[in-house]
Structure 1
Amino acid sequence: MRKYTVNAFSKIPGGGNPAGVVLHADLLKESEMQQMAEELNFSETAFIMASENALCKIRYFTPVEEVRLCGHATIASIGLMKHLKLISDGIHQIETAAGLLTVLVHPDKIMLEMDEPNFFESMDRHLISDSLGIEVDSLLEHPSPQIVSTGLKDLIVGVKSLEILRTLRPDFKKITDISSKADMAGYHVYSYGADGSVYMRNFAPLLGIQEESATGTASGALAVYLYKYGKLPKSSETTRTFFQGMFMERPSEIEILLRDDGINTKVFVGGGVSDINSLD
């Protein structure tokens, strides 16, 4: 067993979202993985083990519970394996609780296929704005706040300006209660820059994460949400870069790839890694 920290969705040292990565975790009990994740105290820690059906199997733990999938911890894991020359560039599959997922390993980035998009209920605008400490008319009128999943269920919420996004005053108790009742991970709040770029903040206190600097699964959910409601152009292949972590002084760039064959839409999220450090 070997422990590392890796920053995912980062192009510069100190940017991105740090994850714990544990190699050769096959002999660890679930309780030991949970304890280790709590001790490392990252938003997620990935545990890599052997798989009969894929490159590897990865399990993901927040400080308080196991989750089905984590985008940034996967990018960190595959980036670490590439750094250690355990894998080469190309197309690989990984085994997760969300199923077998495809990973595209490029010279400068890793792209992870997310789970099949699923759309759930819309949420009351007054309830959501109150929990974010803003007026209801600060929310974008369309699309409405809605729960979407590409691996984990997140509430996608649009606000009208970057200044509103920057000055949110989240009530973490209210967000925790709403997230628990709706059986979702948390809120993924977005707005647009002057050039139309997408900027995001993520709050998941139910999972022990007050705010996260880069969130792959929620970014995938946001991408398919914007695509579904015509906020991204319809095409057989659409690429974008989303931005997160700028208000936490951990700038993150999350690359999005949408593939639409006219029947199904697949979403990939990815980016680079930095700050690889051994904890042993």
Structure 2
Amino acid sequence: MVRRVPFFHVDAFTSDLFAGNPAVVVPLEAWMPEARMRQMAAEHNVSETAFLVPEGPGQWHLRWFTPTTEVAICGHATLAAAFVLATEQGEPGPFRFRTLSGMLGVAREGERFVLDFPANPPRRLGGSQPGLAAALGAVPREVWKARDWICVFDSPETVRALFPDHGRIAALAGAETPAGPARVIATARGDDGMHDIVSRYFAAVVGIPEDPVTGAAHLQLLPLWAEKLGRNTLVCHQASVRGGTLWCTLAGDRVQIGGHAVLYARGEALLSDQA
């Protein structure tokens, strides 16, 4: 017997197709086996595939899988999930998601969806951290640490020009934090008059050499840059090939991340109960 499972392919943190960060959203009535979800995520082969099951009015249980592993928090696939619920299933919102990182909220503000996530302030590290410089191919001015390594550079041009050794990044990031394998963020102050900060995100250790636009990175970047710039509201640009914009506000111990999304495709997975 073949089971038809609908899914939606969404580009998040962008208003344009083929930009931002792609996510696949799979709304379910009840959970399927974890092994099957991992297979689907590997088959979709985007940064994250989000699976969600309703738990009551306005609330869902939400899980995220990269092509190789389940992750504890993901911004762009949460935005994509809220977008699908609002635009494809007629849910009015606001949306509450029970996740491995606790309850996360998303509110709709016009065409923008605003995530309410916990902040993750970094601490500054001393020393030159030569392993990071060798992996990135450039020497950062400062190195900070929250869940991930944060390398601060003097200019956005340096961040954009990085050509990292992803094997070295995966090796140095390996068993680094209680929350799981660390990743590496490269960042600098913006200089184009439109964006306050620029960043890139490298996560080969979880099967994503470079993530196009990363909400979870900004939970760490906002506390750092809000203090540096003296402002709690920042417009952020992730300078991957696809690129994306995030409107972020530090509100106490929370970070609110606003962004757009656009639907690329609707489809059905044809799953055999025997497979």
Class of the TM-score when normalised by the shorter of the 2 chains: 0.7 to 0.9
Shift of 1:52: 4.9
Corresponding residue number in structure 2 for 1:182: 176
Shift of 1:218: 0.5
Corresponding residue SS for 1:2:
strand
Distance in 2 separating the partners of 1:270 and 1:82: 15
- Superposed counterparts of 1:35-184, under 5 Å: 35-52=39-56, 55-89=59-93, 91-119=94-122, 122=125, 124-134=128-138, 136=139, 139-140=140-141, 144-148=142-146, 153-183=147-177, 184=181
Corresponding residue number in structure 2 for 1:197: 196
Q: 1:231 aligns with which of 212, 228, 231?
A: 228
Distance in 2 separating the partners of 1:207 and 1:36: 16
Distance in 2 separating the partners of 1:192 and 1:224: 14
Corresponding residue SS for 1:35:
helix
Shift of 1:147: 1.9
- Tell me if 1:218 matches 2:209: no
- How many matched pairs? 258
Instruction: Answer yes or no: is the 8 Å Cα contact 2:62–2:97 preserved in 1.
Output: yes
Paired residue type of 1:164: T
Corresponding residue number in structure 2 for 1:256: 248
Identity of aligned residues (%): 28
TM-score by length of 1: 0.85
Shift of 1:239: 1.9
Corresponding residue SS for 1:145:
strand
> Structure 1: which 5+ runs fail to align?
none
Corresponding residue SS for 2:7:
strand
Corresponding residue number in structure 1 for 2:272: none
- Label 1:130 to 1:25 Cα distance change in 2 as closer, same or farther (>3 A): farther
Distance in 1 separating the partners of 2:29 and 2:129: 43
Instruction: Answer yes or no: is the 8 Å Cα contact 1:25–1:47 preserved in 2.
Output: no
After superposition, the CA RMSD in angstroms is 2.0
Corresponding residue number in structure 1 for 2:14: 10
Corresponding residue SS for 1:117:
coil
Distance in 2 separating the partners of 1:216 and 1:34: 22
- Label 1:254 to 1:25 Cα distance change in 2 as closer, same or farther (>3 A): farther
Paired residue type of 1:190: T
Instruction: Answer yes or no: is the 8 Å Cα contact 1:159–1:190 preserved in 2.
Output: yes
- Superposed counterparts of 1:236-247, under 5 Å: 238-245=232-239, 247=240
Q: 1:279 aligns with which of 251, 262, 267?
A: 267
- Tell me if 1:267 matches 2:228: no
Shift of 1:277: 1.2
Distance in 2 separating the partners of 1:119 and 1:243: 19
TM-score by length of 2: 0.87
Distance in 1 separating the partners of 2:157 and 2:121: 30
> Structure 2: which 5+ runs fail to align?
269-275
Distance in 2 separating the partners of 1:147 and 1:251: 24
Corresponding residue SS for 1:86:
coil
